[in-house]
Structure 1
Amino acid sequence: MGMQSEQGGQPAQQTAEKIDVFLKARGSGPDLEWDLGLQDPPKEGKEPIDVPPGLGRDIVFHLRSGGPGVNFLPSDPIWVQEGGNCPPKPGSTSGQVSVTDCKPNKLTIHDVNTEKRDLIYQLNFTGGAPPCDPLIRNGGSFA
């Protein structure tokens, strides 16, 4: 039996859960490297994002430091492809992910998570910062 809402006995709408991801720069200029993880501040390195099976999820990337003028690139903040090698090709070749909001220090994407697969992605920045190219492991939807 589905959940009932308090108004009119209609099934309650399920909402996507949110996954917060934190980015922090190490070094500067051409030596800049990104740390990315689920804790704030992130550990050194790039932690994959595991999206558990079930509902889609909003993934919110929080840019904690990158240096002066380093922000998410508003015109093209993320490239995504299903499988393959890093870095992904420009744009998004996956119907699993879409950008829902892009602010200078916060990028929100929605992962529909309908297919179990690895998503290779690249975050793009302004200010001459190099891209960050980690991994999303989709668990897919329940069958």
Structure 2
Amino acid sequence: MTVTRHTMTDEQRKSVALEYLKAFDRGGKTSGGAPLLDLFADDAQVYFPKWGLADGKAEIGRMFGDVGGTLRSITHHYADFNWIFSGTDTVVCEGTSHGEHRDGGAWRAGLPDWGAGRFCDVFEIRDWLIQRCFIYLDPDYGGGDAGRYPWLRE
């Protein structure tokens, strides 16, 4: 089998990453109604803090189910995203969100300033598919872990 590489512009890679983020706000569906996993290559990797590294679509689906099961809703703030392009495949999105944890705790980036809602996702996108997505954020959406940090108790 021949390896194919379709040349993509930065804006095209950005559109794939944006579709991925918007799919979370739609409960795991793309704008065309397809499952979120359709945006990934079969052998893609995704990293999420406190979950680890998921290899391949089946494991990525399990990870998103585990993480998504802790949330009632999430909304990303698209107008405030900071996009960084590096090399031929790498797209970085720094942004904010708000939502509600399954235990009823709402969060919004900046309220409080140390709380959940800020994120940075590093993507590798080729051939219109996400090959790699490493997610960097505080997964304590409900703020329940604050007691372990002395500077937050003050």
Normalising by the residue count of structure 1, what TM-score does the alignment of the two structures yield? 0.29
TM-score, length basis structure 2: 0.28
Structure with the higher fraction of residues in helix conformation: 2
